[in-house]
Amino acid sequence: DAGITQSPRHKVTETGTPVTLRCHQTENHRYMYWYRQDPGHGLRLIHYSYGVKDTDKGEVSDGYSVSRSKTEDFLLTLESATSSQTSVYFCAIGAGELFFGEGSRLTVL
Amino acid sequence: GDSVTQMEGPVTLSEEAFLTINCTYTATGYPSLFWYVQYPGEGLQLLLKATKADDKGSNKGFEATYRKETTSFHLEKGSVQVSDSAVYFCAQNYGGSQGNLIFGKGTKLSVKP
């Protein structure tokens, strides 16, 4: 299994609070991704990174920011969480074939 | 724009039945195509892939053939098992990028003993 760890795995927060999800990989892969999974929508790309400090927006980037200061870590931040950001968030690494973490379930009340 | 459409679920089958999950794509170029599987409470895992027209991907008894003429990549298995119960996602890469994937909405498969 690809070494991808997401934290926290579960989080409940209130509207307006900041939230940071962490993705840590041990594969030294250049490409990392954040997706969200919602019923009826499948998976949608939020942001991705193609190297340290190199990131770009995906399909649903509004309300999210990311940072990658080290190859192994890719952080997803919700500056002010909203109920529409309640979702399961998946980190992935790879190119041509993606390997996914186990997901982080976020509930915004 | 580029997109992936797969059949709506849920799909319920009896053990040893034949499975087909339809997937079609629209793309401006020649994408690679993928099937991913998600078991309950887990992340997605690559099931199989095909990188060019007429390629057949196969794994664990599942097969899919890249059909450029019909822009399809249907998933098939001759005899499903209870352990195949999961959500299946069709996907393509896009924008010339190896890793950026567009996913279909997923098809939930339940196999009854």
Question: Tell me: the pLDDT tens digits for A21-73?
Answer: 999 999 999 999 999 999 888 899 999 999 999 999 998 999 999 999 999 99
Decide the pairing of beta strands B11-14 and B107-112.
parallel
- Report which residue type is found at A95: A
Q: Is A24 on the interface with B (CB under 8 A)?
A: no
In whole angstroms, give the CA distance from residue A5 to residue A101. 6
Q: Is the pLDDT of residue B96 over 70?
A: no
pLDDT bracket for residue B14 (50, 70, 90): very high
Contacts of A41 in chain B (CB under 8 A): 105
Per-residue confidence (pLDDT) for residue A2, from 0 to 100: 66
Provide the percentage of residues in chain B whose pLDDT is more than 90. Answer: 77
For residue A95, name the pLDDT band (cuts at 50, 70, 90).
Answer: confident
Q: What is the mean pLDDT of residues B15-43?
A: 93
Say if A99 is an interface residue toward chain B (CB within 8 Å).
yes
Q: What is the pLDDT of residue B99?
A: 64
Query: Cβ–Cβ of A42/B93 closer than 8 Å?
Result: no
Average pLDDT score, chain B: 92
> Which 8-state DSSP code applies to residue B72?
B
Helix (H, G, I), strand (E, B) or coil at A84: helix
Q: What is the pLDDT of residue B97?
A: 55
pLDDT exceeds cutoff 80 at A1 = no
**In 3-state terms, what secondary structure has residue A9?**
coil
Tell if the CB–CB gap between A98 and B42 is shorter than 8 Å.
no
Query: Is the Cβ pair B49, A97 closer than 8 Å?
Result: yes
CB interface of A with B, residues 69-88, below 8 Å? none
For A98, the closest of B41, B51, B101 (CB atoms) is B101
Q: What is the pLDDT of residue B9?
A: 86
DSSP type of residue B96: T
All residues of chain A having their beta carbon less than 8 Å from the beta carbon of residue B93 are 96
Q: Do B43 and A101 touch (CB under 8 A)?
A: yes
From A11-15, B42-46, B63-67, the region with the lowest mean pLDDT: B42-46
- Which pLDDT value is given to residue B41? 85
Q: What is the pLDDT of residue B44?
A: 92
Question: At residue A18, what are phi and psi to the nearest 5 degrees?
Answer: -80, 145
Task: Looking at chain A, list the stretches that DSSP marks H as alpha helix, in order from N- to C-terminal side.
Answer: none
All residues of chain A having their beta carbon less than 8 Å from the beta carbon of residue B32 are: 96
Cβ of B44 and A102 within 8 Å?
no
In sequence order, the 6+-apart residues with CB closer than 8 A to the CB of B109 are: B9, B10, B11, B12, B13, B19, B21, B80, B84, B85, B86, B87, B88
Which chain B residue has the Cα nearest residue A32? B99
Return phi, psi of residue A85, to 5°.
-95, 5
Query: Residue B94 pLDDT > 90, yes or no?
Result: no
